[in-house]
């Protein structure tokens, strides 16, 4: 037992270590959940991209069909041109052929552009699939780390519980009940250090009677926040 704080500082340190191990234990599953969310997002993005590609393909096929049917129309027009019975008819058909040829050139451009967009979309899909693989690997790594760390942390927590139970002998009987309630409510913040004769948690000064108790390493409760107080150096 520490002569300066009557074991209270040691008890506080053990509570702080316990809280730290507890938070490490909680952070494992949290990290897994964060990574799982990334995987879910990638899967949703992949589905959306596949849907997008389907639509793009449909639009491209439609353009291609239009193009082919116009090409056939042009073949027909050219045949008609050869059979034109008058100069007037010849000119009309020739005009149609020119207009349709221009329209089809633009349709072909549109189709080729649509194919390029599809290629780019497929590239994006491949990138998303590779990102998904990395995200899934990260989940697996996190799961393995947690599985390795969990038993160690749990063992350390059990050790600390025993050490805390032993160190609690420094809590006087008259405040033991209050201390139990504090531990349940505040965990590692059940104790507070005193500096310049003030509680370091709520900054309220201690009374003259409490100063006497603190100087003789006796536990006393902060009259403001209720924490069990201790003083490291005699001031
Ligand atoms: Zn306080």
Compute, in angstroms, the gap from residue 218 CA to the centroid of ligand 1: 16
Which residues lie below 8 Å from residue 167, measured CB to CB, with a gap of 6+?
7, 10, 11, 14
The CA 205 to ligand 1 mean position distance, Å, reads: 8
Cα 185 to ligand 1 centroid, rounded to whole Å: 15
| Cα 116 to middle of ligand 1, angstroms | 69
Domain 9-169 in CATH 1.10.540.10? The answer is no
- Alpha carbon of 209 to ligand 1 centroid (Å): 16
Q: What pLDDT sits at residue 176? A: 92
Distance 2 CA to ligand 1 centre (A): 22
Could you report the per-residue pLDDT of 145-155, keeping only the tens digit for each? Answer: 999 999 999 99
The per-residue pLDDT for 5 is: 84
Q: How many Å apart are CA 8 and CA 1, to the nearest integer?
A: 9
182 alpha carbon to ligand 1 midpoint, in Å? 12
Question: Rounded to the nearest whole angstrom, what is the distance from the C-alpha of residue 225 to the centroid of ligand 1?
Answer: 4
- Find all residues with CB under 8 Å of 2, minimum gap 6, and list them: 8, 9, 10, 217
Q: Is the pLDDT of residue 187 over 70?
A: yes
- CA of 107 relative to ligand 1 center, distance in Å: 79
For residue 231, is pLDDT > 70? yes
Mean pLDDT of the region 74-83: 93
Domain ranges of the chain: 9-169, 171-235
Q: Which residues pair with 220 in a beta bridge?
A: 229
Q: Is the pLDDT of residue 111 over 60?
A: yes
> Which of 185, 179, 186 lies closest to 230 in space, CA to CA?
179
The answer to whether the Cα torsion of 95, 76, 66, 61 is positive or negative is negative
| pLDDT at res. 150 | 96
Confidence class for position 234, pLDDT limits 50, 70, 90: low
**Residue 207 confidence (pLDDT) above 80:** yes
């Amino acid at each position: 037992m520490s002569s300066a704080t009557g074991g209270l500082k040691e008890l506080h340190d053990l509570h702080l270590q316990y809280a730290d191990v507890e938070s490490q234990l909680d952070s494992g599953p949290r990290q897994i959940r964060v990574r799982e969310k990334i995987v879910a997002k990638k899967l949703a993005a992949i589905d959306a991209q596949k849907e997008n590609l389907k639509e793009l393909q449909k639009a491209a096929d439609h353009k291609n069909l239009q193009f082919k049917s116009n090409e056939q129309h042009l073949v027909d027009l050219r045949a008609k041109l050869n059979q034109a019975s008058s100069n007037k008819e010849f000119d009309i058909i020739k005009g149609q052929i020119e207009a349709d040829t221009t329209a089809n050139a633009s349709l072909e451009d549109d189709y080729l552009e649509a194919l390029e967009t599809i290629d780019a979309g497929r590239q994006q899909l491949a990138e998303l699939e590779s990102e998904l693989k990395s995200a899934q690997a990260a989940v697996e790594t996190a799961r393995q780390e947690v599985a390795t760390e969990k038993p160690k942390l749990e063992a350390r927590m059990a050790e600390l519980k025993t050490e805390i139970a032993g160190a609690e002998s420094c809590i006087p009987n008259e405040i033991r009940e209050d201390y139990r309630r504090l531990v349940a409510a505040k965990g590692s913040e059940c104790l507070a250090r005193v500096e310049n004769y003030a509680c370091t948690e709520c900054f309220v000064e201690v009374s003259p009677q409490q100063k006497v108790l603190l100087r003789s390493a006796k536990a006393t409760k902060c009259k403001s926040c209720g924490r069990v107080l201790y003083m490291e150096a005699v001031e």
